[in-house]
Amino acid sequence: MPAWFNSVWPVATFILGGASAYLRDFITEKRQIAREANARQADRDKVITERRETFELEHLERLNEALQKLGRAVGKAHVIDMRTSQDTGHYAGTLLPEGDSEAFSQANRDVHMLRNLVLDDALRAKVEQAHKALNVPSSMHRADPREAERRFAEAIVMLDNVQTDIAARIREIYLTASLPVPLG
Protein backbone atom coordinates (compact mmCIF):
# COMPACT_ATOMS: atom_id res chain seq x y z
CA MET A 1 0.00 0.00 0.00
CA PRO A 2 1.23 3.45 -0.78
CA ALA A 3 2.19 5.69 2.12
CA TRP A 4 -0.45 8.29 1.31
CA PHE A 5 -3.13 5.58 1.64
CA ASN A 6 -2.19 4.89 5.25
CA SER A 7 -2.54 8.56 6.10
CA VAL A 8 -5.77 9.15 4.08
CA TRP A 9 -7.57 5.95 5.10
CA PRO A 10 -8.24 6.91 8.76
CA VAL A 11 -9.55 10.33 7.70
CA ALA A 12 -11.74 8.79 4.98
CA THR A 13 -13.18 6.20 7.39
CA PHE A 14 -13.85 8.94 9.96
CA ILE A 15 -15.69 11.03 7.34
CA LEU A 16 -17.61 7.99 6.00
CA GLY A 17 -18.53 6.95 9.57
CA GLY A 18 -19.76 10.48 10.36
CA ALA A 19 -21.70 10.66 7.10
CA SER A 20 -23.33 7.28 7.66
CA ALA A 21 -24.23 8.25 11.26
CA TYR A 22 -25.69 11.51 9.99
CA LEU A 23 -27.63 9.66 7.27
CA ARG A 24 -28.91 7.08 9.78
CA ASP A 25 -30.04 9.85 12.17
CA PHE A 26 -31.65 11.77 9.29
CA ILE A 27 -33.62 8.70 8.13
CA THR A 28 -34.64 7.85 11.70
CA GLU A 29 -35.82 11.43 12.30
CA LYS A 30 -37.81 11.45 9.02
CA ARG A 31 -39.49 8.18 9.99
CA GLN A 32 -40.29 9.55 13.45
CA ILE A 33 -41.76 12.71 11.93
CA ALA A 34 -43.84 10.60 9.54
CA ARG A 35 -45.09 8.39 12.42
CA GLU A 36 -46.02 11.46 14.46
CA ALA A 37 -47.81 13.02 11.46
CA ASN A 38 -49.72 9.77 10.89
CA ALA A 39 -50.67 9.63 14.58
CA ARG A 40 -51.89 13.26 14.48
CA GLN A 41 -53.87 12.54 11.31
CA ALA A 42 -55.38 9.44 12.91
CA ASP A 43 -56.37 11.53 15.94
CA ARG A 44 -57.94 14.18 13.67
CA ASP A 45 -59.79 11.48 11.72
CA LYS A 46 -61.05 9.96 14.96
CA VAL A 47 -62.29 13.33 16.22
CA ILE A 48 -64.00 14.05 12.88
CA THR A 49 -65.63 10.61 12.89
CA GLU A 50 -66.80 11.06 16.48
CA ARG A 51 -68.24 14.52 15.68
CA ARG A 52 -70.00 13.17 12.61
CA GLU A 53 -71.43 10.24 14.55
CA THR A 54 -72.56 12.50 17.39
CA PHE A 55 -74.19 14.90 14.93
CA GLU A 56 -75.88 12.09 13.03
CA LEU A 57 -77.10 10.33 16.18
CA GLU A 58 -78.52 13.50 17.66
CA HIS A 59 -80.37 14.42 14.50
CA LEU A 60 -81.66 10.93 13.77
CA GLU A 61 -83.02 10.65 17.30
CA ARG A 62 -84.70 14.05 17.01
CA LEU A 63 -86.04 13.17 13.56
CA ASN A 64 -87.44 9.88 14.81
CA GLU A 65 -89.24 11.72 17.61
CA ALA A 66 -90.52 14.40 15.20
CA LEU A 67 -91.81 11.71 12.83
CA GLN A 68 -93.59 10.07 15.75
CA LYS A 69 -95.24 13.37 16.67
CA LEU A 70 -96.23 13.95 13.05
CA GLY A 71 -97.68 10.45 12.84
CA ARG A 72 -99.80 11.13 15.94
CA ALA A 73 -100.94 14.51 14.58
CA VAL A 74 -101.81 12.99 11.20
CA GLY A 75 -103.70 10.17 12.92
CA LYS A 76 -105.68 12.62 15.02
CA ALA A 77 -106.53 14.73 11.96
CA HIS A 78 -107.51 11.60 10.06
CA VAL A 79 -109.89 10.51 12.81
CA ILE A 80 -111.51 13.96 12.84
CA ASP A 81 -111.83 13.93 9.05
CA MET A 82 -113.27 10.41 9.03
CA ARG A 83 -115.89 11.43 11.61
CA THR A 84 -116.84 14.35 9.40
CA SER A 85 -117.04 12.07 6.38
CA GLN A 86 -119.61 9.92 8.16
CA ASP A 87 -121.94 12.93 8.27
CA THR A 88 -121.08 14.53 4.92
CA GLY A 89 -119.91 11.62 2.78
CA HIS A 90 -116.76 13.60 1.96
CA TYR A 91 -113.35 13.46 3.57
CA ALA A 92 -111.57 16.44 5.22
CA GLY A 93 -114.47 18.78 5.48
CA THR A 94 -113.63 20.53 8.78
CA LEU A 95 -110.80 22.55 10.25
CA LEU A 96 -108.78 21.02 13.04
CA PRO A 97 -109.12 22.48 16.53
CA GLU A 98 -106.47 25.14 17.17
CA GLY A 99 -104.26 22.98 19.44
CA ASP A 100 -104.36 20.05 17.02
CA SER A 101 -103.69 22.31 14.07
CA GLU A 102 -100.67 23.85 15.81
CA ALA A 103 -99.32 20.41 16.77
CA PHE A 104 -99.73 19.25 13.16
CA SER A 105 -97.95 22.35 11.80
CA GLN A 106 -95.13 22.18 14.35
CA ALA A 107 -94.53 18.49 13.70
CA ASN A 108 -94.39 19.19 9.96
CA ARG A 109 -91.89 22.02 10.49
CA ASP A 110 -89.70 19.85 12.71
CA VAL A 111 -89.66 16.94 10.26
CA HIS A 112 -88.96 19.28 7.34
CA MET A 113 -86.05 20.92 9.18
CA LEU A 114 -84.53 17.66 10.43
CA ARG A 115 -84.97 15.58 7.29
CA ASN A 116 -82.62 17.88 5.41
CA LEU A 117 -79.87 17.10 7.92
CA VAL A 118 -79.92 13.34 7.33
CA LEU A 119 -76.47 12.46 6.01
CA ASP A 120 -77.39 9.22 4.24
CA ASP A 121 -78.93 10.12 0.85
CA ALA A 122 -81.10 7.01 0.57
CA LEU A 123 -82.45 7.43 4.10
CA ARG A 124 -83.12 11.14 3.48
CA ALA A 125 -85.11 10.24 0.35
CA LYS A 126 -87.20 7.72 2.31
CA VAL A 127 -87.88 10.32 5.01
CA GLU A 128 -88.96 12.84 2.36
CA GLN A 129 -91.31 10.29 0.77
CA ALA A 130 -92.86 9.39 4.13
CA HIS A 131 -93.19 13.06 5.04
CA LYS A 132 -95.01 13.80 1.80
CA ALA A 133 -97.21 10.73 2.18
CA LEU A 134 -98.18 11.74 5.72
CA ASN A 135 -99.45 15.08 4.41
CA VAL A 136 -101.53 13.62 1.57
CA PRO A 137 -104.63 12.67 3.59
CA SER A 138 -105.01 16.14 5.09
CA SER A 139 -104.93 17.68 1.62
CA MET A 140 -107.66 15.43 0.22
CA HIS A 141 -110.55 17.88 0.66
CA ARG A 142 -113.95 16.53 -0.30
CA ALA A 143 -112.39 13.22 -1.38
CA ASP A 144 -113.84 9.74 -1.20
CA PRO A 145 -113.38 8.53 2.42
CA ARG A 146 -112.25 5.06 1.25
CA GLU A 147 -109.49 6.60 -0.89
CA ALA A 148 -108.45 8.80 2.03
CA GLU A 149 -108.38 5.77 4.33
CA ARG A 150 -106.19 3.91 1.80
CA ARG A 151 -103.77 6.85 1.48
CA PHE A 152 -103.63 7.21 5.27
CA ALA A 153 -102.80 3.50 5.65
CA GLU A 154 -100.05 3.80 3.00
CA ALA A 155 -98.59 6.80 4.82
CA ILE A 156 -98.54 4.95 8.14
CA VAL A 157 -96.77 1.98 6.54
CA MET A 158 -94.20 4.36 5.05
CA LEU A 159 -93.78 6.00 8.45
CA ASP A 160 -93.22 2.64 10.13
CA ASN A 161 -90.71 1.63 7.45
CA VAL A 162 -88.71 4.84 7.65
CA GLN A 163 -88.63 4.72 11.45
CA THR A 164 -87.36 1.15 11.20
CA ASP A 165 -84.63 2.36 8.81
CA ILE A 166 -83.72 5.23 11.15
CA ALA A 167 -83.48 2.81 14.08
CA ALA A 168 -81.27 0.50 12.00
CA ARG A 169 -78.94 3.41 11.17
CA ILE A 170 -78.77 4.43 14.84
CA ARG A 171 -77.87 0.85 15.81
CA GLU A 172 -75.26 0.75 13.05
CA ILE A 173 -73.62 3.92 14.33
CA TYR A 174 -73.50 2.57 17.87
CA LEU A 175 -72.06 -0.74 16.69
CA THR A 176 -69.31 0.82 14.57
CA ALA A 177 -68.51 3.50 17.16
CA SER A 178 -67.19 0.82 19.52
CA LEU A 179 -64.70 -0.51 16.96
CA PRO A 180 -61.13 0.82 17.06
CA VAL A 181 -60.11 3.19 14.29
CA PRO A 182 -57.36 1.62 12.13
CA LEU A 183 -54.09 3.55 12.07
CA GLY A 184 -52.57 4.31 8.72
The answer to which of 89-98, 120-129, 142-151 has the lowest mean pLDDT is 89-98
- For residues 2-15, average pLDDT: 80
Q: Which amino acid is at 118?
A: V
Q: What pLDDT score was predicted for residue 184? A: 46
Q: What pLDDT score was predicted for residue 89? A: 85
Nearest to 126 by CA among 76, 171, 173, 160: 160
Contact indicator for 91, 145 with CB cutoff of 8 Å: yes
Using alpha carbons only, what angle is made at residue 77 by residues 164 and 144, rounded to the nearest 5 degrees? 100
Measured in degrees and rounded to the nearest 5, phi and psi for residue 94 equal -125, 160
Q: What pLDDT score was predicted for residue 155? A: 96
Q: Which amino acid is at 110?
A: D
Using alpha carbons only, what angle is made at residue 182 by residues 180 and 184, rounded to the nearest 5 degrees? 155
- For residues 96-106, average pLDDT: 90
